[in-house]
Chains A and B, each alone.
Chain A
């Protein structure tokens, strides 16, 4: 059933693609061009997803897909703020509107290497991987990215390398002269027995016109590798961010992911998919969000247990104010032979305004019998007794409420193992709660 959105921007994109305008990068391999063409045909058929699509039931892209969005290839902008994190000892990589900015980036420590677009395309072992981890099928937003992306970077962690210094990939989006569409992607390969930390921050500044960003991250985590990934979102208003992340986990690998959104982003959609292909893997997912005004944040996670003895643990917590809207959709699949699976999932929401909406859908699909799976989801308010306790000690109601919200979210933040990151996110949390127009019901 075709129920897509085929608007002016859709026509604009399809025209551009069909006229072969700069959709092929220099040195692009034939197989990649083939994948692009296939992805384009998928996108062309499906169009942009609408709320009739079950996966987009609660999120409408209509407001994000402005008619006058333009797809520009040249992203050579200069930035002043590269969004460094205070006291964080990390190697810094800066991507400006998706494009690598060497003059702002640091050299990487031993064991981990970075490749920008042309280097990736010249290296067949990377070029072949592109769009082979995340494959389209029925996701038109993923297909859109595959068809149109112009920048791709690769982070490669060498076999047996233990990289102690985190890599901070700073995604910066800056000055635009017209509404802009930015599709780009990243590939992370963690070879056997390696361990590395990747911190990704998403930051936008002086965005005058709406910015529609499509970001795809593919990750291949090999046997016994450990990969810590953090996503911290500080995008500003008028930014619409759609991310698709596909992670393959081989035997005994560990992936920790945190997904923190304490920003002013207008619309944020994360599709985080984890395919547990090998046995004995571990996956820990953390998420936190505070939404104000008419912000819309939609987190879709999918953990696909394909092999036995895999453990996953997921905690997402959020606070909703004003007329914001949060969507949580956590899927856990346990395939037929994935015995001894342990999967836990939790989503807690503080709903503090009558105009705000929470849609939570924790979903389990289990085809094996020797499993322990559970999920919990709550929508509630502050504990009156806690509030009273604070007020009884001379703390004003407003401040007390903020403190409770802060501690609610801090339960997630405190699990970030890097102290500087904890400080940074706590400060973001503080700032978000201090913003002037914050009214608490």
Chain B
């Protein structure tokens, strides 16, 4: 027991590695949320009238909505008027990397992201979102050659308004939930990707989000459209500097897959989780949803969640097209006083639709880790199939692991399977490894890595390495 205590303490005190903040002059809107804020943002971004109307409509819905009350933790007090809704690095219009603020480059270097040759050679196009405005985009031209549009959301609004107008808000309507409504009203920027018919995107598209300016909530909007027969793999990863005050992040991600298209969306999330008493930390309230609109389409979500003080995120798939399939692979690791409430919704509407959910939760310290999911087979979804597995691993006797699966079947030719287990790391497993000369700490890391392997394997190479590092860092000293 005393050993456990010791371990818990070392675990709790291993500080956030990426905690630093960069001093770059930013242009900040004074805190507050009203129509004027929205008009300001919209004007700043030179948006067309229809988008302003869309935002105002969302604001109206936001004001009408109440705070959710279904979660199994205390909803943090949140003053939406105390948040600044626009922050943009002052320097803009850069033509080459040399013009980028050296301090900014250094920040990225610390995070292990490099915008230099190496990255280019590795074939990753990085659309860096530093606070709310895209600073630089690489590989854009190369992608443009084959017709792939990959740019910041603001740019997309200017250059491809017809696509944005056609798809914006079709998967996550403005009134979907409180935070989606807030995002729709105030979103500052984000990423936009369109893969034309029959194109297989030759490289991983990736975006890094960072929260930087003090007190500026980040409201990203991502829209990925895969036209008929196309394929795209999209990566998203984030780390944020250390903060004392809670920061709100309410992003919305919409994916649209048309006939025979496939979208693979991977996330590594490692935002500031707060200190060991749960002070500070990012509130990560994200609405992610994809729709398999066409027949034979596929959407796959993979996520590794290790950061944020509260994560609230349900990447979902609406399986509308016949023979479409949805996947959700997740590893969520929480420690100290973190709360992760994550899961997915698989809505089967089309015939022969398939979905697969693998969720692995690891909780340590005083943290709480929940899986909350819905599998719904509608009456027309003949021959549909779902398999769900959600496992929880507990490290320490003051943490919690919860599952709230909703399973709904309305069709007599479909099969739904759900299984869940909760346990701690077996003493026999640790003993086995000890016997072979592996110390307990490494043994636990091995066991956890093995436990999460099924999900990590689904990540693209670049991410898999980072994710494994993250798990290892988070597990530092967590031997039980």
- Residues of A bordering B, CB below 8 Å: 1, 54, 336, 339, 349, 351-381, 441
Contact = CB atoms under 8 A, between A and B. Distances in A.
Contacts of A368: 394, 397
A376 B407 contact: no
10 contacts: A358-B410, A361-B405, A364-B420, A365-B402, A372-B423, A375-B403, A375-B419, A375-B420, A377-B418, A380-B415
B100 interface: no
B70 A54 contact: yes
Nearest to A345: B420
Interface of B: 69-70, 72, 377, 379, 392, 394-424
A313 B379 CA distance: 32
Contacts of B406: 359, 361
Contact of B421 (A349, A373, A378): A373
A357 B409 contact: yes
B403 A370 contact: no
Given A363-B403, A376-B417, 8 more contacts: A351-B414, A363-B404, A368-B394, A369-B397, A375-B420, A376-B420, A379-B407, A381-B415
Contacts of B419: 374-377
B404 A366 contact: no
A376 B419 CA distance: 4
A1 B69 CA distance: 10
A2 B377 CA distance: 31
Nearest to B415: A380
A364 to B, nearest CB: 5
Nearest to A369: B394
A381 B412 contact: yes
Contacts of B424: 369-371
Given A376-B418, A378-B418, A380-B416, A360 B400 contact: no
B201 to A, nearest CB: 37
A365 B400 contact: yes
Contacts of A377: 405, 407, 416-419
A368 to B, nearest CB: 6
Nearest to A346: B419
B409 A366 contact: no
A354 B410 contact: yes
Contacts of A363: 402-405
A105 to B, nearest CB: 43
A297 to B, nearest CB: 15
Given A361-B407, A369-B424, A378 B412 contact: no
Contacts, number: 120
In the A-B complex, the 7 residue pairs with the smallest Cβ-Cβ separation, listed nearest first, are A379-B409, A369-B394, A379-B416, A360-B407, A374-B421, A377-B418, A380-B415
A354 B422 contact: no
B402 to A, nearest CB: 5
Contact of A374 (B413, B415, B420): B420
Given A369-B397, A371-B423, A374-B421, A364 B402 contact: yes
A352 B410 CA distance: 9
Given A354-B379, A377-B418, A369 B408 contact: no
Nearest to A374: B421
Nearest to B374: A361
B285 to A, nearest CB: 20
A351 B411 contact: yes
Nearest to B402: A365
Contacts of B409: 349, 351, 357-358, 360, 379
Nearest to B396: A369
Contacts of B398: 336, 367
Given A361-B405, A364-B403, A441 B412 contact: yes
B404 A361 contact: yes
Contacts of B404: 361, 363
B412 A371 contact: no
A438 to B, nearest CB: 14
Contacts of B420: 362, 364, 374-376
A374 B400 CA distance: 15
A313 to B, nearest CB: 15
Nearest to A360: B407
Contact of B408 (A354, A359, A372, A373): A359
Contact of B412 (A354, A362, A369): A354
Contacts of A360: 407-409, 418
Contacts of B72: 365
A356 B409 CA distance: 8
Contact of B415 (A365, A369, A379): A379
Nearest to B407: A360
A364 B410 CA distance: 24
A371 B394 contact: yes
Contacts of A362: 403, 405, 418, 420
Nearest to B427: A370
A376 B411 CA distance: 19
B413 A357 contact: no
B399 A357 contact: no
Contacts of B400: 365-367
A372 B397 CA distance: 13
Contacts of B70: 54
Nearest to A440: B412
Max chain B C-beta neighbours (<10 A), residue from A360, A362, A367, A379:
A379
